[in-house]
Amino acid sequence: MRFAIQVNEGPYQHQASDSAYFFTKTALEKGHEVFRVFFYHDGVNNGSRLTTPPQDDRNIVERWAELGEQHDLDLVVCVAAAQRRGVVDEGEMQRNGKDATNIHPRFRISGLGQLVEAAIQSDRLVVFGD
């Protein structure tokens, strides 16, 4: 089955990102396809490479990035939600006159159309959050 995953909550504050990660990982291991993971609302904070959790805790951002690397996953951060919350890539930095970026290189910033497209192209959209 082909899944689209939507993550609506930030890392650490809420279990949604952890649950989405384990769901995605397990689905891939069972041979399913994950068309895209789309990070929305505070979920965009899952894509900040500056995240530095204590060493004895899981690194949620790196964990997503590693899973993305292993399975060539499309990890997409919503641009409108990212702008509100200061998640920035090179293009957004220049467009909005900012002085830094913080997006993890394994993630990309794109529009809400990517969520809608993922929902159309997948057999199931699974939403994680409140």
Partner 1 sequence: MSETIKKFLYLNRKAPYGTIYAWESLEVVLIGAAFDQDVSLAFVDDGVYQLIKDQDTKGIGMKNFSPTYTALGDYEVKKVFVEKESLEERGLTLDDLQHLVWEDEDDDWAEKDSIELVSREEMTALMEDAEVVFSF
80, 90, 91, 94: residue in contact with partner 1 (rule CB under 8 A): 80
Closer residue to partner 1, CB minimum distance, 11 or 65: 11
Whole-number minimum distance, CB 84 to partner 1, in Å?
Answer: 8
Rounded to whole angstroms, how far apart are CA atoms 51 and 114?
Answer: 25
Whole-number minimum distance, CB 120 to partner 1, in Å?
Answer: 5
Q: Is 67 a catalytic residue?
A: no
Instruction: Choose the catalytic residue: 5, 44, 65, 78.
Output: 78
Our finding on whether 50 is near partner 1 (CB under 8 A) is: no
Our finding on whether 113 is near partner 1 (CB under 8 A) is: yes
Our finding on whether 107 is near partner 1 (CB under 8 A) is: no
- Of 57, 67, 56, 52, nearest to 20 (Cα)? 67
The answer to whether the beta carbons of residues 50 and 92 sit under 8 Å apart is: no
* H and E: helices and strands count for the chain: 5, 5
Rounded to whole angstroms, how far apart are CA atoms 118 and 22?
Answer: 19
28, 86, 102, 127: residue in contact with partner 1 (rule CB under 8 A): 127
Our finding on whether 120 is near partner 1 (CB under 8 A) is: yes
Rounded to whole angstroms, how far apart are CA atoms 40 and 52?
Answer: 21
